[in-house]
């Protein structure tokens, strides 16, 4: 398909959005989600839209400056579909002296996502089709809760999560309690609440030390978990290799990879069984699809992290797609956001990702000043 775009500017609006359920993890407790509503404006009208989460409010101040610099580098230049990878790489080179992680890489990733959405809209096709994907339903788990909490509370919340949107067959429980026995108790409470047929994955959010990781993970290794996610620091590959080698439960990592090249190296060294990159860190759709080709060659199951409205489209083009993480954070800012049905998510047929802003809700959540 042929399409081209010409960027004329960018509009960035910060918003703080209350979350339905407080989520306590080892890296922080979330009561509100700091978001950026990004519109990359095009010649002739229209825009590429993406909703980005900066995780902490400081990011809402830092990321926009880099985004504006990236847009300045392509303003007024016609860009064809086949040039999006080149634009990504040129933007990364432009930022080299500031490094390729953190704020700069998040801005580059969001920039790339917005350009892909804009290109698909210009072509009049859904993003998954621009990427060569198919609109098959994608297995989806409910990640909208089950933070670190007491077992009784976890059981109650698990019942709610499984029942939402026509029913889910998979939920994720956060771990990081003081003792391994406490982790097992929380798991057993959730298992009792949801029954034997619902999958349960667990996420330590990098909460274990290298010294404690094997003992703690062995305590939960026989529970039949779908996976153990980020047990140790995201860049502690030596420990991840040991865990992946010694445990029966699959090790899931990737949300904190700041480049598809990092993911390639982790896969090649055997640091994981499954991967789940974050679009807002991996390099947007360009970085995602490069890693997807590597995962295909190694037959590595590939899941998403956050951004369900966008992730559904890139997963639809991912040969080894596994699970879509459903997080509803920020979806109130959208008109008719994408939601799962009976544990499956199908990407929209609207051009791009189909995201449109709910301006009434945006007005309520905007960060001013």
Can you give the pTM of this predicted structure?
0.97
221: Cβ contacts below 8 Å, ≥ 6 apart: 228, 247, 248, 249
Residue 8 has pLDDT above 90, yes or no: yes
pLDDT score of 3 = 87
pLDDT in tens, 178-193: 999 999 999 999 999 9
pLDDT band at 1 (very low <50, low <70, confident <90, very high): low
Domains 4-125 and 129-345 share a fold: no
**Which positions ≥6 away from 68 have C-beta within 8 Å?**
10, 12
Q: What's the CA angle centered on 67, arms 66 and 70, to 5 degrees?
A: 90
Quote the CATH superfamily of domain 129-345: Enolase-like C-terminal domain (3.20.20.120)
pLDDT digits (tens, 9 = 90+) for 61-107: 999 999 999 999 999 999 999 999 999 999 999 999 999 999 999 99
Give 95-120 as a DSSP string: TGGG-SSHHHHHHHHHHHHHHHHHHH
| 4-125: CATH class | alpha beta
Residue 2: the pLDDT is 73
Q: Contacts for 334-339 with beta carbons within 8 Å, 24 or more apart? A: 334/51, 334/309, 334/358, 337/309, 338/308, 338/309, 338/312, 339/165
Going by the DSSP 8-state scheme, the letter that residue 326 receives in this structure is E
Asked whether the predicted pLDDT for residue 369 surpasses 80, the reply is no
Own/partner long-range contacts of 14-20 (Cβ < 8 Å, ≥24 apart) = 14/60, 14/61, 14/64, 14/366, 14/367, 15/330, 15/333, 15/362, 15/365, 15/366, 15/367, 16/57, 16/365, 16/367, 17/329, 17/330, 17/332, 17/333, 17/365, 19/329, 20/144, 20/145, 20/328
- Domains of the chain, residue spans: 4-125, 129-345
Average the pLDDT over 244-273 and give the result. 98
């Amino acid at each position: 398909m042929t399409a081209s775009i010409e960027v004329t500017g960018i509009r960035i609006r910060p918003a703080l959005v209350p979350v339905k359920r407080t989520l306590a993890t080892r890296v922080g407790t979330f009561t509100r989600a700091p978001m950026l509503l990004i519109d990359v404006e095009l010649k002739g009208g229209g825009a590429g839209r993406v909703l980005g989460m900066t995780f902490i409010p400081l990011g809402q101040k830092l990321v926009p400056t880099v985004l504006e610099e990236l847009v300045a580098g392509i303003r007024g230049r016609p860009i064809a579909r086949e040039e999006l990878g080149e634009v990504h790489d040129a933007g990364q080179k432009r930022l080299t002296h500031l490094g390729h992680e953190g704020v700069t890489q998040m801005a580059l990733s969001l920039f790339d996502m917005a350009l892909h959405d804009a290109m698909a809209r210009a072509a009049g096709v859904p993003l998954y089709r621009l990427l060569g994907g198919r609109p098959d339903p994608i297995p989806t788990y409910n990640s909208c809760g089950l933070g670190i909490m007491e077992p009784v509370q976890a059981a109650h919340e698990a019942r709610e999560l499984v029942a939402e949107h026509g029913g889910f067959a998979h939920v994720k429980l956060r771990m990081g309690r003081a003792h391994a026995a406490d982790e097992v108790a929380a798991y057993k409470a959730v298992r009792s609440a949801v029954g034997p047929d619902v999958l349960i994955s667990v996420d330590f959010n990098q909460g274990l030390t290298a010294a404690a990781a094997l003992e703690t993970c062995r305590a939960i290794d026989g529970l039949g978990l779908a996976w153990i996610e980020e047990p140790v620091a995201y860049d502690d590959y030596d420990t991840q290799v040991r865990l992946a080698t010694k445990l029966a439960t699959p090790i899931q990592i990737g949300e904190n990879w700041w480049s598809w090249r990092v993911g390639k190296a982790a896969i090649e060294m055997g640091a994981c069984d499954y991967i789940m990159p974050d679009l807002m860190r991996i390099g947007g759709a360009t970085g995602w699809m490069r890693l997807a080709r590597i995962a295909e060659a190694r037959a590595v199951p590939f899941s998403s992290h956050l951004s369900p409205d966008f992730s559904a489209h890139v997963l639809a083009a991912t040969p080894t797609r596994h699970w879509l993480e459903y997080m509803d954070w920020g979806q109130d800012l959208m008109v008719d956001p994408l939601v799962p049905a009976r544990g499956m998510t199908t990407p929209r047929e609207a051009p791009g990702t189909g995201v449109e802003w709910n301006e009434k809700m945006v007005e309520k959540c905007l960060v001013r000043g």
